[in-house]
């Protein structure tokens, strides 16, 4: 008994920093922002209770809120599949016993590390300018370029391309997953004369499903959180014509440019619910398409 | 390749088939390399272009896909370094302070928490572990406003405390998770033997677990170093005085103030800001790759 108590104490001692952080920097703020979301708060006076006012304004009158949702959802819907397909494709090429794998792996992963930096965001702005490199390359193929970023119809795609450029980290996870698939399965399929396509859908996909699931959840959350690159490329405002008004950029401006802290808190809570919703959906549906090898029914 | 005992085909046909297959494989391997090399060029080209542009005279930067400057303008680096009201020396010093302290904080607090979760028994462990995993999903934007109000009331705005203190409180659950994964792989017999010898859990942590976990610590240190170095949102909110700007904030200021007139210099400073990341990546590639494969993140 005494020993049990002593062990218990050690656990709590080691967890003390985390406890402080969890209550002061995570749980506390989440609850505080729930409260603030029902108030008007400009940081000068005290928060004034406003009931559901913020939410009502958000859903019924704030056009920019809906615009931000549209932009963010379009981005998630385009960038996540694009990045994952790219990552899986390259991972499958690398998996088949190439000797120079570590060379390619390093090159493909580097952009994932650099992608979030301001330097790359600055570079991206210039690449897609009217007189930028992308148009110069297109001109080589006789394609007339455009001002990709200042045109609201195309600006979002420049960020999708940036997301694709950073396919390295899901690729590494796919590679680790592919390593786990027994090679004799493919050999057996080969002997049976199964086509490559069928091998992919009947062996690779099912056995890789847990990894795909994992990558899907993580990359979706990551995509919802996109901030720095959108902020820099859109001059901090979501320009042009709000076509780059990512939800996070919108929230940031409401809070720290216009000091509508109550409203921004409501936005934060809606974001939390959206991410929670998507994660829950993925988890709930996962049992229909993800099968773990050592699963017992 | 093993042949089945049941159908022993003619030896010659078997050999011919094998040779044909080898040839086919060799050819597909070449195609694969060509394709992968092409992808590599596309992946690296933007970085190469950025570096080249940082050395070009202003009028050569745009409308040219070529990488070789007609003359090397190293001035872009020296002039860019001093183009803002304060020199980049200040910003690099600031970034270094914030990064080093943050990395230390991350390593200490997260390894404490991970040790508790991976090795110790205490009431409520599963609940807390679940809560910790949930914080992985919470976007920083959700806690941003109350945190800001808190730090403002504490008088911490325009200091580095809001950037550093959270890292001493294990606020980045990713690193806890990474270390838990690693600690769990260490043989339990070690702790048990030490426990029987009368070692306290504290001593076991410092003397057995930490020294055996240097690879995991290294991975965590590198990731945390790179992410803190590139961090933009928190400094953007908490640092208003240019004296205290970190490198990403300085780059953004450059973009706003000088960007339209001095592209070469801005690119030069952008390149410099990436150099530490690239060096660390090159030096510790193995640790980074292994870290992602085991934890499966980012």
Helix (H, G, I), strand (E, B) or coil at B192: helix
CB contact (8 A) between residue B169 and residue A224 = no
Instruction: Say how many C-beta atoms besides its own lie within 10 A of residue B62's C-beta.
Output: 17
Alpha-carbon distance of B165 to B160, in angstroms, equals 8
CB contact (8 A) between residue B140 and residue A131 = no
Residue intervals of chain B classified under CATH 1.10.3720.10 are 87-295
CB contact (8 A) between residue A29 and residue B128 = no
A251 at B interface, C-beta within 8 A: yes
CB contact (8 A) between residue A123 and residue B40 = no
- Give the E-state strand segments of chain B in sequence order: none
What number of CA atoms fall less than 13 Å from residue B230's CA on the CB side? 25
SS (H, E, C) A38-75: CEECCCCCCCEECCCHHHHHHHHHCHHHHHHHHHHHHH
- Between helices A168-179 and A63-95, what is the axis angle to 10°? 40
Alpha-carbon distance of A92 to B297, in angstroms, equals 19
For residue range A12-61, what is the model confidence (pLDDT) as tens digits? 999 999 999 999 999 999 999 999 999 999 988 899 999 999 999 999 99
Closest A-chain CA to B167 = A21
Q: Which residues on A lie below 8 Å from B163 (Cβ)? A: none
Structure tokens at A85: 């397909």
**Which CA distances in Å does A18 have to A143, A162, A247, B116, B134?**
55, 35, 29, 10, 14
Instruction: Say how many C-beta atoms besides its own lie within 10 A of residue A44's C-beta.
Output: 6
Q: Which of A188, A3, A228, A271 is nearest to B200 (CA)?
A: A3
Tell me the residues of chain B between 91 and 150 that have a Cβ less than 8 Å away from chain A.
Answer: 108-109, 112-113, 115-117, 120-123, 125, 128, 131-132, 135, 137-150
Is domain B87-295 annotated with CATH 3.40.50.300? Answer: no
Closest A-chain CA to B268 = A119
Closest A-chain CA to B259 = A122
Alpha-carbon distance of B9 to A193, in angstroms, equals 17
For residue range B49-100, what is the model confidence (pLDDT) as tens digits? 999 989 988 777 776 777 777 778 888 899 999 989 999 999 999 999 999 9
For residue range A142-185, what is the model confidence (pLDDT) as tens digits? 888 888 888 899 999 999 999 999 999 899 889 888 988 888 88
- Mutation test of the interface with chain A: which of B46, B195, B295, choosing the one with the most A Cβ atoms within 10 A? B46
For residue range A246-279, what is the model confidence (pLDDT) as tens digits? 999 999 999 999 999 999 999 999 999 999 998 8
Q: Which residues on A lie below 8 Å from B200 (Cβ)? A: 10
- Mutation test of the interface with chain A: which of B2, B118, B146, B154, choosing the one with the most A Cβ atoms within 10 A? B146
- Between helices A205-225 and A261-289, what is the axis angle to 10°? 180
Beta strands A39-40 and A48-49, pairing class: antiparallel
User: Which residue ranges form the domains of chain A, and what is each CATH number?
Assistant: 52-289 (1.10.3720.10)
pLDDT tops 70 at residue B8? no
**Using an 8 Å Cβ cutoff, are B169 and A24 in contact?**
yes
For residue range B191-225, what is the model confidence (pLDDT) as tens digits? 888 888 888 888 999 988 999 888 889 889 998 99
């Amino acid at each position: 008994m005494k020993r049990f108590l002593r062990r218990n104490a050690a656990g709590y001692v080691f967890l003390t920093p985390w406890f402080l952080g969890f209550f002061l920097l995570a749980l506390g703020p989440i609850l505080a922002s729930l409260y603030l979301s029902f108030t008007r708060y400009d940081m000068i006076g005290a928060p004034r209770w406003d009931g559901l006012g913020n939410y009502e304004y958000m859903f019924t009158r704030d056009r920019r809120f809906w615009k931000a949702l549209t932009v963010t959802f379009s981005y998630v819907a385009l960038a996540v599949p694009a990045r994952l397909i790219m990552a899986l494709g390259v991972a499958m090429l690398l998996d088949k016993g190439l000797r120079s794998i570590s060379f390619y792996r390093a090159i493909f992963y580097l952009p994932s590390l650099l992608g979030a930096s301001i330097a790359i965001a600055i570079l991206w702005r210039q690449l897609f300018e009217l007189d930028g490199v992308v148009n110069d390359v297109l001109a080589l193929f006789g394609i007339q370029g455009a001002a990709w970023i200042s045109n609201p119809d195309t600006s979002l795609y420049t960020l999708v391309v940036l997301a694709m450029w950073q396919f390295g980290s899901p690729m590494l996870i796919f590679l680790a997953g592919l390593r786990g698939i027994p090679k004799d399965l493919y050999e057996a399929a080969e002997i049976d004369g199964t086509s490559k396509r069928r091998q992919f859908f009947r062996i690779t996909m099912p056995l890789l499903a847990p990894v795909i699931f994992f990558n899907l959840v993580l990359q979706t959350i990551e995509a919802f959180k996109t901030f720095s690159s959108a902020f820099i490329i859109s001059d901090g405002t979501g320009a042009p014509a709000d076509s780059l008004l990512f939800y996070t950029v919108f929230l940031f401006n409401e809070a720290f440019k216009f000091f509508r802290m109550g409203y921004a808190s409501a936005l934060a809570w809606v974001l939390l619910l959206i991410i929670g919703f998507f994660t829950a959906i993925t988890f709930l549906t996962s049992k229909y398409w993800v099968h773990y090898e050592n699963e017992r029914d | 390749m093993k042949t089945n005992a049941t159908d022993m085909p003619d030896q010659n046909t078997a050999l011919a088939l094998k040779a044909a297959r080898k040839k086919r494989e060799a050819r597909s391997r070449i195609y694969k390399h060509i394709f992968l090399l092409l992808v590599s060029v596309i992946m690296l080209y933007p970085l190469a272009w950025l570096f080249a542009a940082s050395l070009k005279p202003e009028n050569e930067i745009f409308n040219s896909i070529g990488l070789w400057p007609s003359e090397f303008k190293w001035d872009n680096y020296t002039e860019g370094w001093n183009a803002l009201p304060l020199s980049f020396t200040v910003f690099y010093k600031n970034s270094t302070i914030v990064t080093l302290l943050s990395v230390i904080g991350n390593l200490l607090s997260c390894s404490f928490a991970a040790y508790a979760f991976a090795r110790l028994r205490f009431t409520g462990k599963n609940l807390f572990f679940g809560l910790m995993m949930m914080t992985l999903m919470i976007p920083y934007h959700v806690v941003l406003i109350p945190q800001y109000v808190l730090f403002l009331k504490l008088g911490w705005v325009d200091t580095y405390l809001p950037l550093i203190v959270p890292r001493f409180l294990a606020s980045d659950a990713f690193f806890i998770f990474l270390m838990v994964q690693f600690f769990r792989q260490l043989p339990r017999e070690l702790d048990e033997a030490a426990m029987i010898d009368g070692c306290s859990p504290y001593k076991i942590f410092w003397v057995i677990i930490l020294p055996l976990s240097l690879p995991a610590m290294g991975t965590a240190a590198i990731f945390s170093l790179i992410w803190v170095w590139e961090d933009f949102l928190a400094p953007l909110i908490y640092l208003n005085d240019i004296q205290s700007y970190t490198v990403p904030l300085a780059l953004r200021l450059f973009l706003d103030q000088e960007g339209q007139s001095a592209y070469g210099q801005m690119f030069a400073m952008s390149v410099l800001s990436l150099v530490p990341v690239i060096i660390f990546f090159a030096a510790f590639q193995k640790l980074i790759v292994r870290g992602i494969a085991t934890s499966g993140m980012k």
